[in-house]
Amino acid sequence: MSYLYDLIAISPHPDDAEIGCGGTLALLTKKGYRVGIIDLTDGEPTPFNENPEVRIQEANESARILGVDRFLLDLPNRELLDSIEARMKLARLFRETRPRIVVGMIGMTPGTSPDHYQSQLIFDSAIFYSRLSKWEKKFGGLKPWLIEQSFYYYTAREQVPTNLPFQFIVNISDFFAIKKKALLEYKSQFKAHPSYNPPIIDWIEGMGRYYGNLAGCKYGEVFFGNKIIQMNFFEHLLTN
């Protein structure tokens, strides 16, 4: 069986993946790679959005701008918990979509949604469940799927564990404008907050500039790895 997606990003809510790695997703699709986003929840309700359908439309428009396919797992927003059911649902989608690489959000986010950290736990377990043999019955006959690599993206709200072996930065200087355009589709989240100062989009731009500067480019996105990899692995994906 061969893979169907080069990379899939797992997003607790529609917009988290775009914040953390939207530039990288746009870069990959521009190079012809097949990329997807799995939203674990629909992200609703939120304070300034009256209609969950609006958020879904925004998410789909953002995906169109980035050139990615989008899947909704429909786990409960605000009540997301690392459970066997949640792990199995995500693992099942991994078996169906067969990604080579997956990226998920990392760490606890004190002061914002606890769903974020739960998504990391679900993500880690689902990668494992996806490849387990002798579980076809639990997955409706779907065969095991071995994901080659996994990384974490970062949105600058998380407390990052310091014991991770490595981090790297992807140069998204040519793709920050697309990332920003995709994010601005989320009017219910980023344009409807007159009380937020500075605007969320400014913070995302600042984060991009900060990580870009660290790596000697204008805009960057940082990824964390939980195990040592061959140097050429991700680089190969990004440059070929």
Contact residues toward Zn ion (CB under 5 A) are 12-13, 16
CB of 9 to Zn ion, least distance (A): 13
For Zn ion, the closer CB: 13 or 98: 13
Reduce the secondary structure of the chain to three states and give it as a string. CCCCEEEEEEECCCCHHHHHHHHHHHHHHHCCCCEEEEECCCCCCECCECCHHHHHHHHHHHHHHHCCEEEECCCCCCCCCCCHHHHHHHHHHHHHHCEEEEEEECCECCCCCCHHHHHHHHHHHHHHHHHCCCCHHHHCCCCCCCCCEEEEECCCCCECCCCCCEEEEEECCCCHHHHHHHHHCCHHHHHCCCCCCCCHHHHHHHHHHHHHHHCCCCCEEEEEECCCCCCHHHHHHHHC
For Zn ion, the closer CB: 155 or 171: 155
CB of 116 to Zn ion, least distance (A): 6
CB of 15 to Zn ion, least distance (A): 7
For Zn ion, the closer CB: 9 or 142: 9
CB of 157 to Zn ion, least distance (A): 8
For Zn ion, the closer CB: 24 or 113: 113
